[in-house]
Copies of this chain bind each other. A is one copy, B any other.
Amino acid sequence: MLKVHLQFDPEPEQVSRLAALLDPSIRLTVGEHPHPADFEILVHGLPTREDLLASPHLHTVIVPWAGPPLETLDLLKEFPQIAVHNLPYNSGPTAEMAIALLLAAAKMIIPYDQNFRRHQWGPADASLQSCLLLEGKTALILGYGRVGRRVANACRGLGMKVWGIRRRPDPQEQDEVYGIDSLHDLLPRAALLIICIPHTHETTGLIGERELALLPKEAVLVNVARGDIVVEAALYESLRERRIFAAAIDVWYRYPDRLLRGKGEPVPPSNFPFQELENVVMSPHRAGWSPETEELRILYLSRVLNAAAKNLPMPYRIDPNRGY
């Protein structure tokens, strides 16, 4: 009997779907802590210290998201006896959305659409260059992992050259992959900077004023990782002053809490008025979502749990010290 407790709130139908996928030896509980708290695996994205201490048998925490929050990782560093796993179920949708956002920014799809809906055939703002041609240019993919490799495939399909950056470059990769220490050398030669690196203490503020200034004037920046990897004020200023061509941003600096989001209260995603800029594509943290999202999340979760039930190596383990 493997005791698993789900302390996130999936729809009831997803819980049934999960139950149907699980090995019969798994006993699943859902909701607030069960009494007695004797679970061995806790599925929770933002566990508290109390959650981690509640059950003496707890050996694994599964964060049911692709990107574990820094606070979760920091807390779990204090519990080295607890293994941490995430669920990278949405690499496909995220990579597709990264390409969609990138092309929308590079081709100024939104200002032209909006102006054309008023039956104006010309550019909305004649001072904006109307589009970039990508073929033959170089995409720099910051975070050449599950998402980054898919983004790389799509960029190659568009006739681009690809450079990847990851902590430990592997010489076997299909593209030229460099370590993070090459960032400043590569930025001036990149037409696109696509950010899909995990959020860790090391990547917080990795792209700041200096890095943005190193990009060519015709560069496009895409962020589908986490807002805090790019310095908010520096990003806003470089777009407002058109020091880069455009940006497409899916991940932000201020988030509504769940309740406000449900109520439809407007919550600005930044302290800066990005909404006033024509050279930005704004996306409300939806890159990883797809109609299949919840189904895939449950499928990935079942893989980890079933492996545990069968004493097989559990996939998608991460190191809280590295953050991925």
Contacts and interface: CB of A to CB of B under 8 A. Distances in A.
Interface of A: 92-93, 96-97, 99-101, 103-104, 106-107, 109-110, 112-122, 129-135, 150, 153-159, 256, 261, 264, 266-269, 275, 281-286, 289-292
B121 A284 contact: yes
Contact of A107 (B97, B150, B156): B97
B113 A110 contact: yes
A20 B155 CA distance: 35
A109 B100 contact: yes
Contact of A283 (B116, B120, B132, B291): B116
Contact of A267 (B121, B153, B154, B275): B121
A275 B117 CA distance: 5
A121 B261 contact: yes
A143 B250 CA distance: 34
28 contacts: A96-B107, A96-B134, A96-B158, A97-B107, A99-B103, A100-B104, A100-B107, A100-B109, A109-B110, A110-B110, A110-B114, A112-B282, A112-B283, A113-B281, A113-B282, A116-B275, A116-B282, A119-B267, A119-B268, A121-B261, A121-B269, A130-B286, A131-B289, A131-B290, A133-B290, A154-B157, A156-B157, A157-B157
